[in-house]
Amino acid sequence: MDRSPNLKVSKSRTYFQLLIIMNVLLLAASAALLINQSAPVAEPRVVTARGDLGADERATIDLFRNARDSVVFISTRQRVADFWTRNVYSVPRGSGSGLVWDEAGHIVTNFHVIEGASEAQIQLADGRQFSATLVGVSSQHDLAVLKIGGAGFTAPARVPIGTSSDLQVGQNVFAIGNPFGLDWTLTKGIVSALDRSLPNENGPDIRHLIQTDAAINPGNSGGPLLDSAGRLIGINTAIYSPSGASAGIGFAVPVDTVMRVVPQLISEGRYTRPSLGVESDDDINDRLKRASGIEGVFVLRVDPGSSAERAGLVAAQRTRRGVAPGDIVTALNGKPVSRVGDLLARLDDFRVGQSVELTLMRGGEERTARLELEPGS
């Protein structure tokens, strides 16, 4: 039997199969080559040694490490009543920052941080948490003092106290706080301006504020503003921003004001403003200044038995022709005043019992009088 046709078919089929295998291998090799070309081998980069930190960087790191433990996180809650059921609930109100003031556990913060709150929780940098009690407030300075701890309480290290009397525009400052709840955040800036004023819903304008471009955001309020030596020079209080976020314009209550107010809040629970024992009014004062052309604060009333009365100050009198000016205060300890707010701000630099010198104008003649400051209302 002749098998040659089948043999030919078998050989052709084998050749065809080999051809397919060779093509597959060739395609695989080409694909591998393309993959190798499109995906080069990734090797780790060599780490470059950084070297020593700069002196200013080391100083900033040390400043934060030394001050961090004295800064606290404050969260507040407010009790609200359901209109229909009259059930009372405690709901979150806000958060802010504060500063450990002394070993007794007093915490300094802003008044607006705790305003309207029914309870406040304090968290220290080491994780300890305490319920705080309110010691005292001064809404006119936007300052408040809370108290934490008890028997066996160990206070963290406190930041050293500086002074705001010798601050200069341009010097470095550092803010530590909890902006937007981001706890223990450090920002850096400079003193942008001094002796700024801000309107205050709770009384006279807040005066003598430090302006800084260190980033201060909601949640920073109540935290410390430090100088480059790590000393407390202010308590961060407010920002100027149309958006509500930092715009490079922040304000702090100067530490010299804090040092006058906080001890009174701790010992008495309130701040007593020093007074001359006279009364004035902004609107009337402005009218009298326009009518007389004299810049100063017109004395409208002298309190009986006050140091002003003992010093011989004379109040304005009503006559048939109008108001006859008495004494006009033009300066306090050599610093000029032209508005009632100016006089109150100057007085706020002193304590009850201290003496001040007034420059007075009466009947076109200038004279001086020394008065002892009394407790105000």
Amino acid at 9: V
To the nearest 10 degrees (0 to 180), the angle between helices 340-347 and 282-292 is 120
Q: List, by residue number, the catalytic residues.
A: 112, 142, 221
Q: DSSP assignment, residue 270?
A: B
Asked if 136 and 266 count as a contact pair (C-beta separation under 8 A), the reply is: yes
Backbone angles phi, psi at 234, to 5 degrees: -175, 165
Spatial separation of the C-alpha atoms in residues 66 and 156, rounded to whole Å? 11
| CA-closest candidate to residue 300, choices 266, 325, 321, 275 | 325
Spatial separation of the C-alpha atoms in residues 232 and 254, rounded to whole Å? 9
Element (DSSP H or E) covering residue 123? strand 119-123
Spatial separation of the C-alpha atoms in residues 365 and 327, rounded to whole Å? 10
| Residues with Cβ within 8 Å of residue 317, at least 6 apart in sequence | 323, 324, 326
Q: Which long-range contacts (CB under 8 A, 24 or more apart) does 161-165 make?
A: 161/231, 161/232, 161/255, 161/259, 162/226, 162/227, 162/229, 162/231, 162/232, 162/233, 162/255, 163/233, 163/255, 163/256, 164/208, 164/210, 164/233, 164/234, 164/254, 164/255, 164/256, 164/257, 165/256
Q: DSSP assignment, residue 202?
A: T
Amino acid at 267: S
Spatial separation of the C-alpha atoms in residues 195 and 221, rounded to whole Å? 19
Angle at 233 between CA 229 and CA 234, to 5 degrees: 140
271 CB-contact burial (10 Å; exposed 0-12 / middle 13-18 / buried 19+): buried
